[in-house]
Amino acid sequence: MPSSHKRRQRLVKKRSGKAGLPPGTPVHIGEKVSQYTKISVMDYDEAGCRETELTGIDECLIFKDRPTVTWINIEGVHDTAVLQKLGECYGIHPLTLEDIMNTDQRPKREDFGSYIYIVLSMLHPSGADNGAATEQVSLILGENFVFSFQEGIKGDAFDPVRERIRSGGGRIRKFGADYLAYSLIDSIVDNYFSVLEGFGERIEALEDELVENPTPATLGHLHAFKREMIFLRKSVWPLREVISGLQRGESPLIRQSTVIYLRDVYDHTIQVIDTIETFRDMLSGMLDIYLSGINNRMNSVMKTLTFIATIFMPLTFIAGIYGMNFSYMPELQWRWGYPVVLLGMAVAGALMVVYFRKKKWM
Amino acid sequence: MPSSHKRRQRLVKKRSGKAGLPPGTPVHIGEKVSQYTKISVMDYDEAGCRETELTGIDECLIFKDRPTVTWINIEGVHDTAVLQKLGECYGIHPLTLEDIMNTDQRPKREDFGSYIYIVLSMLHPSGADNGAATEQVSLILGENFVFSFQEGIKGDAFDPVRERIRSGGGRIRKFGADYLAYSLIDSIVDNYFSVLEGFGERIEALEDELVENPTPATLGHLHAFKREMIFLRKSVWPLREVISGLQRGESPLIRQSTVIYLRDVYDHTIQVIDTIETFRDMLSGMLDIYLSGINNRMNSVMKTLTFIATIFMPLTFIAGIYGMNFSYMPELQWRWGYPVVLLGMAVAGALMVVYFRKKKWM
Amino acid sequence: MPSSHKRRQRLVKKRSGKAGLPPGTPVHIGEKVSQYTKISVMDYDEAGCRETELTGIDECLIFKDRPTVTWINIEGVHDTAVLQKLGECYGIHPLTLEDIMNTDQRPKREDFGSYIYIVLSMLHPSGADNGAATEQVSLILGENFVFSFQEGIKGDAFDPVRERIRSGGGRIRKFGADYLAYSLIDSIVDNYFSVLEGFGERIEALEDELVENPTPATLGHLHAFKREMIFLRKSVWPLREVISGLQRGESPLIRQSTVIYLRDVYDHTIQVIDTIETFRDMLSGMLDIYLSGINNRMNSVMKTLTFIATIFMPLTFIAGIYGMNFSYMPELQWRWGYPVVLLGMAVAGALMVVYFRKKKWM
Amino acid sequence: MPSSHKRRQRLVKKRSGKAGLPPGTPVHIGEKVSQYTKISVMDYDEAGCRETELTGIDECLIFKDRPTVTWINIEGVHDTAVLQKLGECYGIHPLTLEDIMNTDQRPKREDFGSYIYIVLSMLHPSGADNGAATEQVSLILGENFVFSFQEGIKGDAFDPVRERIRSGGGRIRKFGADYLAYSLIDSIVDNYFSVLEGFGERIEALEDELVENPTPATLGHLHAFKREMIFLRKSVWPLREVISGLQRGESPLIRQSTVIYLRDVYDHTIQVIDTIETFRDMLSGMLDIYLSGINNRMNSVMKTLTFIATIFMPLTFIAGIYGMNFSYMPELQWRWGYPVVLLGMAVAGALMVVYFRKKKWM
Amino acid sequence: MPSSHKRRQRLVKKRSGKAGLPPGTPVHIGEKVSQYTKISVMDYDEAGCRETELTGIDECLIFKDRPTVTWINIEGVHDTAVLQKLGECYGIHPLTLEDIMNTDQRPKREDFGSYIYIVLSMLHPSGADNGAATEQVSLILGENFVFSFQEGIKGDAFDPVRERIRSGGGRIRKFGADYLAYSLIDSIVDNYFSVLEGFGERIEALEDELVENPTPATLGHLHAFKREMIFLRKSVWPLREVISGLQRGESPLIRQSTVIYLRDVYDHTIQVIDTIETFRDMLSGMLDIYLSGINNRMNSVMKTLTFIATIFMPLTFIAGIYGMNFSYMPELQWRWGYPVVLLGMAVAGALMVVYFRKKKWM
């Protein structure tokens, strides 16, 4: 169930440790997902591609002035020293470093002139319950480099991009750093689709369950889905603005040839939003169905009770009368008293049934 | 019932097969509706009209440089080879080809300079249940050609356009490719009206049923309609933006004389949206009626129960008292005990009825 | 009741007869309200006014090049021939003629350069039930003429305008065709006020009924009003845009001196919209009152039932005990057994009543 | 209670008397609040202030060409002759005169070049029930004069302004007519605050009542407040636009030095709107509290009923069995039959209680 | 519980004392939080920092023409004399002084040319109940000074800023007054996060309680939270506009280097708003859960009642029949009468249970 999963995920991440520090002080906010900081570099041009995994950040710096496109992917953002060194070398503003370490950012895009800073949420479809864990991904797009920072949850959506760089097919090796940044964003948005596919299947299953055999547990799942949608929505809506901003092509870092691809990923984002809104509408509709279902059943329960009470209360009363112990009750002595009373009861009961039928209560 | 129909239609189409491929790779997304790819060409100018059905895409290419208007209609978009050949010949961007094959697009319009790419949803009113199946239609409008791509569901909304081209009456043969594109869009929007007509009739029938003889099945239909409206709305709202974009006349591909017609089809789209919103409002109102109807009936059931219980419980209690076996119960020996008690019961019952009348519970 | 009235009015007018025809083909859509086409002409300038009722459209044409202002009012729009002749003579675009005949338009304004085409809904307050029938009115405003097309329902809102033209008082004879068009629009909007007055009175009566003596019929009326508001709203909202467009004064057909009057009628439209929204808010509030009223009554019914059951079930049980036929039940033989049990019952009952009082259930 | 008050106030004011008259005909719409027309004039400059109460409108005209600032306050707007004479003398457009007499205007601002016409609603906090009566106030701001028109309800919000003019302290005597107009608007908006203060206190009292001792009357008050808010909101929202329009400083009649004060009154208006929206949100929340309170009590009533029924129905049944008159019922003869059955009943009852405890129904 | 706290906080602050005074008259509106007026000054440049606590306002004036940055923090805004002296010396507009003393302002920003006036709400997380008290903070940013006015609640959010000025580390001593103003705003917004953290934790605790053990008290807390959110929202939404206005950089008082920091605090504000909206969505969802939970329990209670009644009413009726005292009831004499009837009852009861099972009511 997504609810239990989400409840573990805190509504508001602790920032208290940071209150009072001057702005631009990089302090890690959020759970420390991984212990280590893993740095992997892909450095490529049309001719070839070098791939290395680094142990220290110092080795990164040599890529700075090469004409090739350099992609440095850093997993684990809790290590202040690493970020500061990188920041100094590549001229990253302290506020950007601070934002990278605060893992509760909403998606945004900031243009610092010499680089564009982009924050996104990457979804991890988590096994059993199909709920989705969120990992903050920061991208820094410079003239000839892209840095990507992940919180460090295992696995990411970037493998297909890596594969394409290695193979050298397609456009990616021919185009610049902006196309690489686009490819990373595209693979993150594609990831949303597969998570939504999972949700879609489960919502349809829930819908069937709702119609065929609703239980209070069905309701619990329904509410858990609604909750999930609140969070999903919160992380996707600003995405739209982010990509639309990139696509407007105001920064010289983004070439005209890439804009057409960004328009494509923008369309995908709209589609993701559309799908989430459709899910929300459907879940609202399903809640209505559930509630009117309960009302219907309640109605039918009450009718049964009323039917039984209306039949047997008068009959029991009649039986009670002839159970009284008065000395002078002439009917009791009549030879046909008993059968006549039984008959009377049967007739009264039958009349009740007819009345109920007429009122359509049966 | 639309619900069963729609449940078969997947909420989110499978895209997983595509994840990881470079953008612009044409991969078919969605159910393969038809096995074959059917290509039909209409090539006309004011003087005459040639109509052919092609077996291979190569024959299409000969129409490229003719001064006549060429309309190539392709049913079945799963065949990558066909699309790629067409794309190369006519200079279609790979992203457009990809979009044509992904049959879960929302309506959109993209201007690629040398052509305008338009995605629409065509409705197929499906027989028995009046529900509507959706088929994605892509249009490519170039200088002197229009390509239309359908998923391949049998039948389309274009027959009247074909007829008009053949007959040569009216404006269509005199005007250019942009007027042809307008005509195709117009016939798709006209199609919405006939589907909405069907919905309107069924909603009115449902409304009558709701007032005269509501059952839980009525509620089921209500919810099915609401669900249908969610999907219909999702496919019509963006249409408005699409046509308003065309009408703004920024592309040289659309002549000023056609803009006035696009304004007309834009009005129709607004009317379709208006109608859908009215349906939604009415369905909400009908749900309220249903629920307050249930409440009213529940109320009336409870009143009956309370009435019966309030009459017979005290009477049964009195009967119970005189059914006790105490040795010394002087009333039991009185000559008039029995009739007096019966009378007392009748009076008590009558008082109860009066009380209920006063409280307006009967 | 408005509901029955409206149910007869179709949700979506049949357009199927038209599907497939080329755009600009004038085909009548909607019920044929009147059998005949009635043409009346008022031709006036400051000096005088000629009024004629015509039998054929040909006679209209003579007014074309006169310097006077000509108002041609046509009732009944099903006659294609009449419209086409008029269109040819005065240069009316085929799409306009088509729109005039399609009587399910939403209010709109279209500027064709040589004339402005305006569609409006005129309300007919219909006798007994105060519901309102809608009649589509099309206006064509040219340099020195105004054409008005009505569906042909008997009576219209234009009589005061006619009177003012005849009497020659006020501004109308001195001002041009644009002032005439304004006067017609103004009288249509004034008409809304009188219909809304009727609604206001009935809603207030319903509100009193709701508080004093609510019945399921009250609920039915409430829902009927809500339905009516949906339709009214649909026809008034676009009106705002229409008049605001006219008032912006972009067309040379509208003189600056008329703009100030259009601003006035624009304010009236806003007021009509405001009133409709207020009605909607009030009807929603009234539905809440009704539902909470039902809940309150249900609650009070249930309390009565529970009260009765709680008093008499234990007492009946006690009576049942002493009605058992065991041989050895010493209490039965006691001299004071009967009165003691009766007293016990009275005490138990009194305690129950006290308990209920304390819980505020009585 | 506000409800009763408001019900007397008509939803839609009668306009029927006016239908058909040419636009610009001043006809009084609304109740005739006062019989007389009271005209008071304040004419001042920095040096001094002359205050007169006039019997006829003719005396007003002498102020026209003086360099001093003239404020003419007219109570009672039903006298057409007075308005028309004033209009002719000061060049007021007939449409403005018409609007002044129609006392159902929504707040608006119209710039006629030589003067600005402003309509506002002034609230009168009405004694006992704290409900608010509305009085339409029209202001006409010219080069060196301000006219204010009131419907004639006794008392107004302008006394502080009069006092300040008389005393000659502060800025008012030094600044021009625009500052006077601002002062009048400001005192009207200040008036809203005191009415809202009254509402705030009563809503808080209602909230306490709701939590401590809710009755159906509480609900009635709640709905009456909601209704009041609908009307209050309707008259305040357009005010925002009115003042924002004045503040934009497009008219030469408003000096730059006054704009800063208008910005201040604009802020107050926003605060009034904010407060009304907060009230609406709170009233919605209170309705939810009331309804869930009813549900909770209903639940508790039902539990009691079920508890009693579940305990006593089986016990009564057992007693019924041993009340049967079969000849051969061996238990009846047993020496310990009676006590054993009593014990069995006690045990059964105790088990039921335990079961209910476990289900948390007690 | 927040509810009790908030109820003490008045919905609308008393303004009546002020009605009728000329605009720009500084009158204190709101509770007088502190008795004294405490004035503390920090005067610094890159070289050093002087900190003084003043007894009278006169000493402030000496800082006016120094080149250093002066921050004067004033706690307690009820002392008119102090404010007026300050206003005269530094050229503060009377309307600004008035706004400072009216402690019910909504957040706003006003540019007076020589200074910018900013009103904010500072939250004080109040101990036990985690509810938040609001304190109005006014900032005046001039060329080389910042004034901050607090109502006088003990403690504020500015301590970290003070610490940074004293220590001289970071940018604050090097940058100008605009950076100081930014730092103060930033620390107020940071404060929101810690209050929201507290809310988040309590909402999650409430959510757990709701699922595991809901009581009417849970509902009370839910409504109290909703109420709190209404007020929180009201004070945060305008903040967004305030900061976005500062960041647009139209005033020369704000240097370009500070704009980037304002953009950062703007992002934080958006995040605060986002979090509040998420809380609201969640609380709505929780209310739905509570209500459907009540419905479910009600349903289950009713089923139990119906089950018990349906089993025992018929059985009691049968027992009643054989408790009648007719002389001729042959069954009573049968040897196996009693066991046969008992068996019949058992069978009837079992059939009922089977029926209930089939209907899924058990």
Cross-chain residue pair D310–E315, CB shorter than 8 Å = no
Q: Which residues of B touch A172 (CB under 8 A)?
A: 22
Enter the CATH code of domain C302-358. 1.20.58.340
Contact flag B301-A296 (C-beta cutoff 8 Å): no
Looking at CATH, the fold of the domain delimited by D303-358 is given as Methane Monooxygenase Hydroxylase; Chain G, domain 1 (1.20.58)
Asked if A92 contacts A105 with a C-beta cutoff of 8 angstroms, the reply is no
Q: DSSP letters along B235-253, please? A: HHHHHHHHHHHHHTT-STT
Contact B33, B160 (CB under 8 A): no
Residue type, C95: L
Q: Test C204 with D337 for CB contact under 8 angstroms.
A: no
E60 burial (CB, 10 Å; 0-12 / 13-18 / 19+) is buried
Using a CB–CB cutoff of 8 Å, tell me whether C301 touches chain D: no
Q: C265 to chain D: which residues are within 8 Å by CB? A: 23
CB atoms within 10 A of CB E256: 7
DSSP A145: E
Q: Minimal Cα–Cα distance from A238 to chain E, Å? A: 11
- What ipTM did this prediction achieve? 0.78
Q: What is the pLDDT of residue E329?
A: 80
Tell me which of A122, A183, A192, A193 to substitute to probe the interface with B (most B C-beta atoms closer than 10 Å).
Answer: A193
The residue in chain E having the minimum alpha-carbon distance to the alpha carbon of residue D263 is E110
Tell me the nearest-neighbour CA distance from B328 into chain C, angstroms.
6
- Using a CB–CB cutoff of 8 Å, tell me whether D309 touches chain E: yes
Chain B residue numbers with beta carbons less than 8 Å from the beta carbon of A279 are 11
In angstroms, rounded to a whole number, what is the distance separating the alpha carbons of residues E283 and E289? Answer: 10
Residues of A in contact with E173 (CB under 8 A): none
User: Max CA-CA distance within chain A?
Assistant: 120
Q: Which of residues 271-290 of B touch A (CB under 8 A)?
A: 287, 290
Residues of chain E with C-beta less than 8 angstroms from the C-beta of A331 = 326
Say if A347 is an interface residue toward chain E (CB within 8 Å).
Answer: no
Residue of A nearest to E281 (CA): A230
A303-312, B15-24, B119-128 — most confident range: A303-312
Structure confidence at residue B14 (pLDDT): 62
Q: Where are the strands (E) in chain C, listed by range? A: 38-44, 49-54, 69-75, 108-111, 116-125, 132-141, 145-150
Q: Are D7 and D18 in contact (CB under 8 A)?
A: no
pLDDT surpassing 80 at residue D180: yes
Contact check, Cβ <8 Å, E230/D278? yes
Q: Would you tell me which residues 218-277 of chain C have a C-beta closer than 8 angstroms to some C-beta of chain B?
A: 219-220, 223, 226-227, 230-231, 234
- Chain D, 125 to 144: residues with Cβ < 8 Å from chain E are none
D348 touches chain E (CB under 8 A): no
Residues of chain C contacting D18 with CB distance shorter than 8 Å: 190
From B137's Cα to the closest Cα of chain C, the distance in A is: 18
C136 vs C116: CA distance, rounded Å? 17
Chains contacting B (3+ CB pairs below 8 angstroms): A, C
C-alpha B104/C-alpha B14 separation (Å) is 9
Write the pLDDT tens digit of every residue in C27-60. Answer: 777 766 667 788 888 888 888 888 888 877 777 7
Q: Do the beta carbons of residue E183 and residue E262 sit within 8 Å?
A: no
CB A186 within 8 A of CB A265: yes
The shortest CB-CB distance from D19 to any of C172, C194, C261 is to: C194
Most confident region among D24-38, D83-97, E33-47 by mean pLDDT: D83-97
Which residue in B170, B285, B317 is closest to C312 by CB distance? B317
Instruction: State percent of chain C over pLDDT 70.
Output: 90
List the structure tokens of D266. 């604009």
E59 in contact with A at a CB cutoff of 8 Å? no
Nearest CA-CA distance, residue B118 and chain A, Å? 13
- CATH homologous superfamily for the domain E301-358: Magnesium transport protein CorA, transmembrane region (1.20.58.340)
Amino acid identity at D115: Y
Flag if E302 and A304 touch (Cβ within 8 Å): no
* Nearest chain D CA: its distance from C270 CA (Å): 9
pLDDT at A113 over 60: yes
Please count the residue pairs, one from chain C and one from chain D, whose beta carbons lie less than 8 angstroms apart.
163
Q: Looking at this protein, which amino acid is placed at residue D10?
A: R
Please state which CATH number belongs to domain E2-292.
3.30.460.20
Dihedrals phi, psi of C81, to nearest 5 degrees = -60, -45
Q: Does D128 or B37 have the greater pLDDT score?
A: B37
- Residue B3, pLDDT above cutoff 50: no
B7 touches A: beta carbon within 8 Å: yes
Tokens of B71: 């309309």
Query: In this predicted model, what pLDDT tens digit does every residue of D336-355 receive, in sequence order?
Result: 888 888 888 889 889 888 88
Task: Judge: D332–C329 Cβ closer than 8 Å, yes or no.
Answer: no
Given CB atoms, is D362 within the 8 Å cutoff of chain C? no
Q: Which has the minimum average pLDDT: C75-79, C215-219, D324-328, E34-38?
A: E34-38
Q: For the residues of E158-218, what is the DSSP string, one character each?
A: THHHHHHHHH--SSTTTS-HHHHHHHHHHHHHHHHHHHHHHHHHHHHHHHHHHHH---HHH
Q: Residue A36 — very low, low, confident or very high, per pLDDT cuts 50/70/90?
A: confident
Class of domain A304-358: mainly alpha
**Interstrand relation of E69-75 and E145-150 (parallel, antiparallel or unpaired):** parallel
**pLDDT tens sequence across B201-222:** 888 888 888 877 788 788 888 8
- Contact (Cβ atoms closer than 8 angstroms) between residue E120 and residue E239: yes
Q: How many residues does chain C have?
A: 362
Average pLDDT over residues C221-245: 87
Smallest CA–CA distance from D321 into chain C, residue: C324
Own/partner long-range contacts of B115-121 (Cβ < 8 Å, ≥24 apart): B115/B90, B115/B91, B115/B140, B115/B141, B115/B142, B115/B253, B116/B140, B116/B141, B116/B181, B116/B246, B116/B251, B116/B253, B116/B254, B118/B181, B118/B185, B118/B242, B118/B246, B120/B185, B120/B188, B120/B239, B120/B242, B121/B235, B121/B236, B121/B239
Whether residue D32 is predicted with pLDDT greater than 50 in this model: the reply is yes
pLDDT confidence bin for C4, thresholds 50/70/90: very low
Nearest CB to B20: which of A160, A204, A326? A160
D295 and E297 within 8 Å at the Cβ level: the answer is no
Q: Which of D197, D292, D329 sits opposite E291 (nearest CB)?
A: D292
% residues pLDDT > 70 (chain D) = 90
Domain boundaries, chain D: 2-292, 303-358
The model's pTM: 0.82
Give yes or no for residue A8 having a pLDDT over 50: no
Q: Which residue of E has its CA nearest to A6?
A: E204
Look at E305 and A125; give whichever has higher pLDDT: E305
Q: What's residue D2's pLDDT?
A: 40
Which of D193, D158, D163 is closest to E17 using CA atoms? D193
Identify all chain B residues contacting A317, using CB atoms and an 8 Å cutoff: 312, 315-316, 319
A362 touches chain B (CB under 8 A): no
Give the one of E7, E22, E290 whose C-beta lies nearest to D204's C-beta.
E7
- Tell me what pLDDT residue B361 has: 66
Q: What is the mean pLDDT of residues B18-44?
A: 74
- Tell me the angle at which helices D94-101 and C256-321 cross, rounded to the nearest 10 degrees: 20
What the block records as the tokens of B205 is 């029938």
Tell whether B197 is within 8 A of chain C (Cβ): yes
Task: State the nearest Cα–Cα gap between C360 and chain B, in angstroms.
Answer: 19
Mean pLDDT value across residues E221-225: 86
Of D159, D194, D298, the CB nearest to E15: D194
